[in-house]
């Protein structure tokens, strides 16, 4: 007689264990709290305790979700990158609006956010870049990958603008996209310093004027 081995109650190979809803919710809460603190204070000056206290998670439980502060910081950066990619796509892929206006609307939304948070929060990526010499190679690589992702999105928008005749045909789109993020992050830091959106507005005026197609 052929005996069939009953494996219905045995875990299947290669299939990860399911995480409970509570586990996923707690991890997400930690990432959100981390995003808030790191956009205000950066990584090296931020402690884990205030983050845990803000959401009522004991320190011992933190290491159930993340092996170290660095692992947590990298996860927060990854979460922030995805959040910001979604925001960029929302504005820059809006085909109902001219490409340059899409970029300007993104900038205005960012300015509104800085004001809403009373100039306490900046860009997490910009904050980390300022302390990059103190961060690990893994952090530095992820920061560069994040900027590259954002630059590609702006470059695609500017390329569309160039094809529509909005900006100068001689512009090197990749260089211009990189220049946008270099200037934008600097303007964010200055805005937080002076507690005014004027540096951001000024940067956008100069940036648009520099790339817009000249008409005689």
Kindly list the structural domains of the chain, giving each domain's residue range(s) and its CATH number in brackets, ordered by start.
75-211 (1.10.357.10)
pLDDT value for 145: 96
- Check if the beta carbon of residue 122 is closer than 8 Å to that of residue 189: yes
Local structure of residue 132 (DSSP, 8 states): G
pLDDT value for 215: 65
Rounded CA separation 127/38 (Å): 8
HEC profile for 133-185?
Answer: HHCCHHHHHHHHHHHHHHHHHHHHHHHHHHHCCCECCCCCHHHHHHHHHHHHH
Task: Please give the backbone phi and psi of residue 167, each rounded to the nearest 5 degrees, phi first.
Answer: -120, 165
Q: What sign does the CA torsion over 48, 54, 60, 63 have?
A: negative
pLDDT value for 5: 38
| pLDDT, block means (10 residues), the chain with 216 residues | 41 44 73 90 84 85 88 93 95 96 96 93 90 91 95 97 92 96 96 96 96 77
pLDDT value for 58: 85
Using a cut of 0.85, tell me whether the model's pTM lies above it.
no
């Amino acid at each position: 007689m052929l005996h069939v081995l009953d494996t219905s109650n045995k875990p299947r190979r290669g299939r990860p264990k399911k995480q409970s809803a509570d586990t996923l919710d707690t991890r997400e809460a930690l990432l959100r709290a981390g995003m808030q603190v790191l956009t205000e204070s950066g990584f090296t000056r931020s402690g884990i305790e205030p983050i845990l206290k803000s959401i009522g998670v004991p320190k011992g439980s933190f290491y159930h979700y993340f092996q170290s502060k660095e692992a947590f910081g990298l996860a927060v950066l990854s979460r922030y990158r995805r959040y910001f990619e979604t925001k960029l796509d929302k504005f820059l892929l809006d085909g109902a609006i001219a490409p340059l206006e899409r970029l300007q609307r993104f900038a205005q939304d960012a300015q509104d956010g800085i004001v809403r948070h009373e100039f306490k929060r900046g860009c997490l990526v910009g904050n980390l870049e300022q302390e990059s010499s103190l961060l690990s190679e893994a952090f530095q690589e992820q920061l560069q990958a994040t900027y590259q992702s954002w630059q590609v999105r702006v470059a695609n928008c500017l390329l569309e603008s160039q094809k529509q005749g909005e900006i100068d045909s001689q512009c090197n789109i990749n260089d211009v996209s990189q220049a946008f993020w270099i200037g934008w992050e600097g303007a964010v830091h200055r805005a937080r310093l002076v507690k005014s959106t004027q540096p951001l507005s000024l940067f956008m005026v100069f940036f648009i004027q520099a790339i817009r197609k000249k008409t005689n």
